[in-house]
Amino acid sequence: MPHTRYAADRGLTARMVTTMFFIGLLYVVFIGVLLALFKGAWPLIVIIAGGLFVAQFWFSDRIAAFSMGAREVTPQQAPELHGAVDRLCALADMPKPRVAIADTDVPNAFATGRNQRNALVCATTGLLRRLEPEELEGVLAHELSHVAHRDVAVMTIASFLGVLAGIMTRAALWGGLSRGSRNNNAGIAVLLIPLVAAVVYVISFLLTRLLSRYRELSADRAGALLTGRPSALAAALTKVTGQMARIPTRDLRKVEPFNAFFFAPALSGESVSLLFSSHPTLERRLEQLARVSAQLGQAGRS
């Protein structure tokens, strides 16, 4: 982790390394199966897989911003938002990321980018309209923690394998079916590739969800320690979660694919198993912030 004043989290680092190891292993196995079944097409498979990986990793910030309809804003266009980011970056001793606003009533925020120098922090108009200045700083401190800890980049890479599995499966099946009369492996491929892709997708999905839940707790704690105001972050969490229930479901479903990168999930509920959730429960996050508040209170009295 690059030097910042954000509290280091060895648990997060260990989980990121473990996740990347297993994701990389899955990646190798999946590409290996494709190469074994389509030996003649190995240059195309390697080019597509490598090209998609580079594109998603290198342009992840632009892809996320475009998909969310976010636009970069100048300090003149959004002075309060820039001012909050400036204060937090100075406090954390880290480079200032690009700042963006997404025009949606869904109250949320996210950070993306492969490193601190190429990071982007985005807040929605719904969030800016609803939060008090201290609450907004708490949310931004949370998002900047993701950038400082580099878990944004890890999540981008980890989520890539699921996308690749779907794309490569369609490409391989199309190629196998089109050569069915000339290739004895076509029938095997039609049966085997969807099965392998499904297994790869499920395992990568569960791994990224497990990491996502922990990284949200880590960002809550690091952001609260940086600002020294865990109560402000707790208030923002409570307010955003409560307001989310008032947003039309059709609007929430439009942004649901970004759940793993959001400050709070766009869609959640008791019916969704914790195993598949991208975020820990609100109760768990508030309990942790209460412990941080008690910890800061004891440090202040000592």
Catalytic residue positions, numbered: 143
Amino acid identity of residue 296, one-letter, is: L
142 labeled part of a ligand binding site: yes
**Which among 206, 210, 223, 231 has a CA at the least distance from the CA of 279?**
210
The C-alpha atoms of residue 273 and residue 245 are separated, in whole angstroms, by 19
Between helix 230-244 and helix 282-301 the angle, nearest 10°, is 170
β-sheet with 98-102: strand ranges across: 70-72, 98-102, 120-124, 109-112
Residue 289 three-state SS: helix
The number of beta carbons lying within 10 Å of the beta carbon of residue 86 is: 13
The C-alpha atoms of residue 211 and residue 261 are separated, in whole angstroms, by 12
Tell me the CB-side half-sphere exposure of residue 149, using CA atoms within 13 A: 35
**Which among 226, 161, 159, 217 has a CA at the least distance from the CA of 29?**
161
The answer to whether 29 and 47 are in contact (CB under 8 A) is: no
Query: Buried b / exposed e across 240-277, counting CB within 10 Å, b at 16+?
Result: bbebbeebeeeebebbeebbbbbbbbbebeeeeeeeeb
Residues comprising the binding site for Zn(2+)?
142, 146, 216
Residues comprising the binding site?
142, 146, 216
